[in-house]
């Protein structure tokens, strides 16, 4: 009975936490959906864009990425491929496309992702600069959909949507479902109040004039995408989410890969929060400054509190101390699971991704995933306190395309 109670409490508390945190996002995401579309603000209907693709040992996937870009239905662009000293066939794969007039290939000594991005930026001639990961695959209208996000002069950057392309095991199927919640649902809501905390490295677009004010990526910094995003907010620009500008990219297909990726993301958040701590509650940075404490609480404090409660509960049960009456545990459990499932269904509806309902049977793994993310944040804090070196800790690619 105690083990069943423990399992139900952990499951219910985890799901209940997720459900409570998402309540404000429902009206905000609906407000985002009801906004009227506007034309972009560029003088030309089709402004020239530069697409920067940094790559380090991406031979398995870079070809798919380049091919998808040059097959776009948008013609005014250049693709700047930056090989960051790869030891595999990445450079050779890039050079296969060098005869295309839109493609520029650059190779450099290994210096990290931010360094490669900045090399591409220094060569860019576009009015808008796209930054795309080497495993990303564009849809034909991805570029034009991204540009439509620049609907006013105060929009400095646009964040696109992403979807896993390697949906071939339980983990990547779960990632497919959770992407609808964490990206499609949450980013709609935050975009509605000008509080997007990150322009994802998967696909982001910046006006060149914005980058002239913010400066380039911070080299030697883990989480360069989130750090630059906060500087865009500091410079007084809005950041817009474009849910229909989609890039398909590889999700981690192993537990080890997922762990490394999420620890890197968590460290990036911690570092960025520290160096930009002056933004918290500072009215000169607009609504984002007042959202940041909420964001940091949900991303850092709540995971730690969940871990503490999970550690304490079995001890209390062993001592025959029931911290919460059984009926309340039952209510929390059922409410938590209902709210989590409702959030998932709502998110899928927003993305019009009904075909992904076929992966619904992996939803129970969400609990284990959430617990893993709690441990990830704890470990990231420990690693940061140790001041361990930050590296371009990239995923091992599979090259699998299942969509």
Report the 10 Å Cβ neighbour count for 7. Answer: 12
**Of 137-141, 257-261, 307-311, where does mean pLDDT reach its minimum?**
307-311
Give the CATH number, domain containing residue 200. 3.90.550.10
Q: Which domain holds residue 13?
A: 1-34+48-397
Task: Please check whether residue 41 lies inside any domain of the structure.
Answer: no
Q: What is the pLDDT of residue 12?
A: 60
Q: What is the pLDDT of residue 390?
A: 72
Residue 161 near residue 249, CB atoms below 8 Å: no
Task: Please check whether residue 392 lies inside any domain of the structure.
Answer: yes
Query: pLDDT of 373-402, one tens digit each?
Result: 999 999 999 999 998 877 666 777 877 777
Distance CA 204, CA 241 (A): 9
Task: Please check whether residue 162 lies inside any domain of the structure.
Answer: yes
Task: Please check whether residue 39 lies inside any domain of the structure.
Answer: no
* Average pLDDT for the chain: 90
The secondary structure of 274-285 as a DSSP string is: HHTGGGTT-GGG
Task: Please check whether residue 282 lies inside any domain of the structure.
Answer: yes
Report the 10 Å Cβ neighbour count for 249. Answer: 24
Q: Which residues contact 78 (CB under 8 A, 6 or more apart)?
A: 48, 49, 50, 51, 102, 103, 104, 124, 125, 126
Report the 10 Å Cβ neighbour count for 352. Answer: 10
Query: pLDDT of 199-230, one tens digit each?
Result: 998 999 999 999 999 999 999 898 999 999 99
Residue 248 near residue 136, CB atoms below 8 Å: yes
pLDDT over 90 at 13, yes or no: no
Task: Please check whether residue 403 lies inside any domain of the structure.
Answer: no
> What is the per-residue burial (b if ≥16 Cβ within 10 Å, else e) of 357-367?
eebeebbebbb
Nearest one of 127, 145, 130, 156 to 52, comparing CA atoms:
130
Instruction: Assign 336 a pLDDT band (cuts: 50, 70, 90).
Output: confident
Q: What is the pLDDT of residue 324?
A: 58
Task: Please check whether residue 221 lies inside any domain of the structure.
Answer: yes
pLDDT over 70 at 264, yes or no: yes
Distance CA 263, CA 366 (A): 18
Report the 10 Å Cβ neighbour count for 52. Answer: 25
Q: What is the pLDDT of residue 308?
A: 82
Task: Please check whether residue 122 lies inside any domain of the structure.
Answer: yes
Q: Put residue 280 in one of left, alpha, beta given phi > 0 → left and psi -120 to 50 → alpha.
A: beta
Distance CA 118, CA 224 (A): 11
Instruction: Assign 345 a pLDDT band (cuts: 50, 70, 90).
Output: very high
Please compute the mean of the pLDDT values over residues 355-364 and round it to a whole number. Answer: 95
pLDDT over 70 at 11, yes or no: no
pLDDT over 60 at 1, yes or no: no
Please compute the mean of the pLDDT values over residues 17-27 and round it to a whole number. Answer: 80
Distances (CA, A) of 292 to 47, 233, 241, 289, 296: 33, 11, 18, 5, 6
Q: Put residue 220 in one of left, alpha, beta given phi > 0 → left and psi -120 to 50 → alpha.
A: left
Distance CA 82, CA 392 (A): 15
Give the pTM: 0.91
Q: What is the DSSP letter of 268?
A: H
Nearest one of 190, 161, 184, 205 to 42, comparing CA atoms:
205
Number of domain units in the chain:
1
């Amino acid at each position: 009975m105690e083990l069943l109670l423990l399992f139900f409490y952990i499951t219910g508390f985890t799901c209940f936490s997720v459900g409570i945190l998402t309540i404000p996002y429902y009206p905000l995401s609906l407000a985002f959906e009801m906004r009227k579309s506007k034309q972009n603000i560029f003088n030309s209907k089709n402004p020239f864009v530069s697409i920067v693709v940094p790559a380090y040992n991406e031979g398995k996937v870079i070809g798919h990425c380049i091919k998808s870009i040059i097959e776009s239905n948008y013609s005014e662009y250049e693709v700047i491929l930056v090989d960051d000293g790869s030891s595999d066939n990445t450079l050779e794969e890039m050079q296969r496309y060098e005869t295309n007039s839109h493609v520029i290939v650059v190779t450099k000594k290994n210096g990290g992702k931010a360094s490669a991005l900045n090399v591409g930026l220094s060569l860019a001639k576009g009015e808008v600069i796209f930054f795309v990961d080497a495993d990303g695959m564009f849809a034909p209208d991805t570029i034009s959909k991204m540009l439509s996000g620049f609907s006013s002069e105060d929009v400095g950057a646009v964040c696109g949507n992403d979807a896993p392309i390697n949906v071939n095991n339980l983990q990547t199927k779960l990632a497919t479902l959770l992407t609808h919640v964490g990206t499609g649902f949450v980013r709609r809501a935050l975009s509605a109040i000008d509080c997007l905390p990150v322009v994802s490295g998967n696909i982001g677009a910046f006006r060149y004039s914005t980058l002239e004010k913010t400066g380039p990526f911070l080299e030697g910094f883990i989480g360069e995408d989130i750090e630059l995003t906060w500087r865009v907010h500091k410079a007084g620009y809005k950041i817009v989410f474009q849910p229909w500008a989609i890039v398909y990219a590889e999700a981690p297909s192993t537990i080890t890969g997922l762990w490394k990726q999420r620890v890197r993301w968590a460290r990036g958040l911690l570092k960025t929060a520290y160096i930009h701590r002056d933004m918290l509650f500072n009215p000169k940075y607009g609504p984002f400054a007042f959202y940041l404490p909420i964001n940091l609480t949900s991303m850092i404090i709540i995971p730690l509190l969940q871990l503490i409660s999970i550690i304490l509960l079995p001890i209390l049960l062993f001592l025959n101390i029931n911290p919460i009456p059984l009926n309340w545990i039952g209510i929390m459990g059922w409410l938590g699971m209902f709210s989590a499932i409702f959030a998932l269904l709502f998110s899928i509806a927003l993305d019009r991704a009904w075909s992904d309902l076929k992966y619904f049977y992996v939803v129970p793994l969400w609990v284990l995933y959430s617990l893993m993310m709690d441990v990830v944040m704890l470990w990231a804090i420990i690693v940061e306190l140790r001041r361990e070196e930050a590296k371009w800790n990239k995923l091992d690619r599979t090259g699998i395309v299942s969509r």
